[in-house]
Copies of this chain bind each other. A is one copy, B any other.
């Protein structure tokens, strides 16, 4: 999903699009913000993936490992992981397939409810997740250009957006 680019343009393409948009239509402000979000996601994903490549991980696979690291027993039901990470059940299956193939997690049957399958961190998986974390910390998740205040602004505004979209209650 990581769109990439090599050459810099001599101007801000989003700002230029905003001018064209405002000349003809409404909501140019929202257009510029939406386009900015799309581009920010590309940049963050590209830089984090680059930092994780030496470990054979992608952002999606890394997120799963960290989620398991945060869990009490180092294991979680497949479906619950999808809820937390906001991905489809199919994607969880696919990601866990690859992590299991690499020996970083293993599938375990749930004791009480045999419909449920738990993904459990292996010793190798735990150790790799910890080393990989140092790498993403080092690049500050691709956001090294931003100040603490700007990072908080970003998070705060997106939290409002997420709440409005029904991501969580409270």
Q: A5-B86, A9-B169, A36-B158 are in contact. List 12 more A-B contacts (CB 8 A).
A: A3-B87, A13-B168, A26-B137, A30-B151, A33-B143, A34-B141, A36-B159, A37-B154, A38-B44, A39-B86, A143-B161, A146-B157
Q: Are A39 and B4 in contact (CB under 8 A)?
A: no
For A140, list chain B residues within 8 Å (CB). Answer: 27, 30
Known contacts A31-B141, A157-B146, A160-B146, A43 near B165 by CB under 8 Å: yes
Question: What distance in Å separates the Cβ of A165 from its nearest Cβ neighbour in chain B?
Answer: 5
Task: Give A33-57 as 1s and 0s: 1 = Cβ < 8 Å from B's Cβ atoms.
Answer: 1101111111111011000000000
A12 within 8 A of B: yes
For A159, list chain B residues within 8 Å (CB). Answer: 12, 14-15, 36
Q: Are B4 and A161 in contact (CB under 8 A)?
A: no
Nearest first, the 6 A-B pairs at minimum CB distance are: A145-B164, A34-B141, A41-B41, A36-B158, A33-B151, A20-B70
For A5, list chain B residues within 8 Å (CB). Answer: 83, 86, 167
Q: Are A150 and B146 in contact (CB under 8 A)?
A: no
Closest to A43 in B: B165
> Interface residue tally of chain A, by bracket?
35 or more
Task: Give A3-21 as 1s and 0s: 1 = Cβ < 8 Å from B's Cβ atoms.
Answer: 1110111111111010010
Question: What distance in Å separates the Cβ of A68 from its nearest Cβ neighbour in chain B?
Answer: 12
- Docked CA distance A44–B31 (Å): 11
Q: Are A158 and B37 in contact (CB under 8 A)?
A: yes
- Docked CA distance A1–B47 (Å): 18
Contact of A161 among B1, B43, B161, B169 (CB under 8 A): B43
